[in-house]
Amino acid sequence: MSTITTFRPRTGRTTELVLVLFAIAIVLLAYVNVALAIQGEVPPNLMLHGGLLLAFTVGFHLVLRWKARYADPLLLPITTLLNGLGLVMILRLDYAAGRDVGSLVASRQLMWSALGITLAAVVLFVVRDHRVLRRYTYIAMVAGFVLLLLPMLPLIGHEENGSRLWIRLGGFSFQPGEVAKIALTVFFAGYLVATRDALSLVGRRFLGLQLPRGRDLGPLLAAWGLSVLILVAQRDLGSSLLFFGLFVAMLYVATERVSWIIIGLLLFSAGAVLAWRLFGHVQTRVNLWLDPFDPSASSDQVAKGLMGMGHGGLFGTGLGEGYPHLTYFANSDYIFASFAEELGLVGVFAMLLLYALLVERGLRTAIGAREGFGKLLATGLAFSIGLQVFVVVGGLTRVIPLTGLTTPFLSAGGSSLIANWIIVALLLRISDHARRPVGERVELEGQGASAVVGEAR
């Protein structure tokens, strides 16, 4: 005999609040630590900065309580902690570079963080149900391509360190590729949900592999072409690797066909070999990867990063006590090495586990999602964070050649921060939908509703 009892499932919001406060406490401790180590005094703006951080993250938490009360309770604390630690390290490097208050990178980053959190809240207000995004599949595609190609335009396009990834408007520079990542993920998800049957069922078998039809290969070839285009035109190895990897992963999840992965890897290898043969800067990266300490190497960038990490050792030098500023791009591409130096192996393990947790919570959301579009979108968004961390940290630690991407939430730079906060907002929205009990499910009018009924498995 069993009795049916109705109970309100836990929303996890209180857990979230406690964890967010805990994260802020850690960040402020690190902040005080840095100021004490470098300036010898408690930071004078501790209350102001701490208050700002508290106001924005707790404010966002309240938005979640109001607009997405069943959302995953771990995502916000993790991102708060990563974003906050990034701020501390950027400030620490500001001190090391002797920047004065007016030109602090950290204060700009604080502003970007506030903007990122605000935009994430706006996303939660505007996107009441993630399924509406499916309506904009092809608009997202166009937007993604346009954003990607913006830096190629004259006048506003802008080249830095040999890569043409920025646009400059007024006094601000922006990396549209970061936002394009979201638009393209939306496009991939929408497109694959619509065509997955054709992609997975039709085709001939060859050597135990289900080969797709020629015309179904189109989108894969298009994604491949796009990533090669980015590589050639913008000299951005990281982004092309990221887009192509993201697309192949989503294709595989949509079709459940290993053949797509194999074809994808073959295409990737072909592209990689071709790029290596054709472009000097790719060869440079590969040579630096194989022997970063080669005295005749064109750059000691990798070597310096490795020395910084080695210097940190097991427990690190302590925040403010190392020399992370001896590494190039210490607060952007190499910020992870800066953490490795000052927090040690123990510290970066913790940070890598935070990322891993973030990605796995995202994939958990994908599994919990009740329809294909949400599953694919959550998978794509979560995987893009994981892949990006892998490409960056793997590049620093010589798992793969160094390509140069931002480290999500940590690196100095507004576009990356805003894009990642929006990604988290979308994951929160999908997880809210996935975890919401049936009784409370409020269906949107129109096509969203039918999609839910049809695809829940």
Partner 1 sequence: MNAPIRRLAVVVAAMFAALLISTTYIQFFQADTLREMAGNRRTLLDQYGRDRGAILVDGTPIAESEPTDDDLRWIRTYSQGQLYAHVTGYYSFTYGAGLGLERSENALLSGSADSLFYRRLPDLVTGREPTGATLEITIDPRVQRAAAQALGDRRGAVVALDPRTGAILAMVSHPTYDPNTLSSHNLSAVQQSYETLNEDASRPLVNRAIAGDLYPPGSVFKLVVAAAALESNEFNPDSELPSPLRYTLPGTSTSIPNFGGSSCSGGETTSLFDSVRVSCNTSFAWLAGELGADQLNAQAEAFGFGQPLQVPLPVTPSRYPVDADDAQVGLTGIGQYDVRVTPLQVAMIAASIANDGVLMQPHLVDTVRDKDLDPIDTTSAQELSTPISVTTAQELTDMMVAVVDAGSGGAAALPGIQVAGKTGTAEFGTTGAAHAWFTGFAPADNPTIAVAVLVESATADWTGETGGVVAAPIARAVLEAGVNP
Residues forming the site for partner 1 (CB under 8 A) = 37, 98, 249, 252-254, 256, 293, 306-314, 318, 321-323, 326, 340, 344-345, 348-349, 352-353, 355-356, 359-360, 363, 366-367, 372, 375-376, 379, 383, 386-387, 389-390, 393-394, 397-399, 457
- CA-to-CA separations, 324 to 4, 38, 88, 311, 341, in angstroms, rounded: 60, 13, 13, 10, 7
- Nearer to partner 1 by C-beta: 295 or 439? 295
**Structure token digits, residue 22:** 């805990």
Return the SS3 of 205.
strand
Q: What is the DSSP letter of 71?
A: S
Q: How far is the CB of 157 from partner 1 (least distance, A)?
A: 33
Strands 204-206 and 209-211: antiparallel
- Nearer to partner 1 by C-beta: 58 or 326? 326
- How far is 12 from 434, CA to CA, in rounded Å? 14
Element (H, E) at 163: strand 163-169
Contact 193, 266 (CB under 8 A): no
Q: How far is the CB of 107 from partner 1 (least distance, A)?
A: 22
Q: How far is the CB of 103 from partner 1 (least distance, A)?
A: 18
Q: How far is the CB of 163 from partner 1 (least distance, A)?
A: 24
- How far is 366 from 364, CA to CA, in rounded Å? 5
- Nearer to partner 1 by C-beta: 151 or 372? 372
Q: How far is the CB of 143 from partner 1 (least distance, A)?
A: 25
Q: How far is the CB of 430 from partner 1 (least distance, A)?
A: 13
- Nearer to partner 1 by C-beta: 120 or 392? 392
The dihedral region occupied by 158, where left means phi > 0, alpha psi between -120 and 50, and beta the remainder, is beta
- Nearer to partner 1 by C-beta: 191 or 390? 390
- How far is 125 from 353, CA to CA, in rounded Å? 30
- Nearer to partner 1 by C-beta: 176 or 238? 238
Q: How far is the CB of 275 from partner 1 (least distance, A)?
A: 22
- How far is 227 from 246, CA to CA, in rounded Å? 11
- How far is 71 from 452, CA to CA, in rounded Å? 18
- Nearer to partner 1 by C-beta: 389 or 410? 389
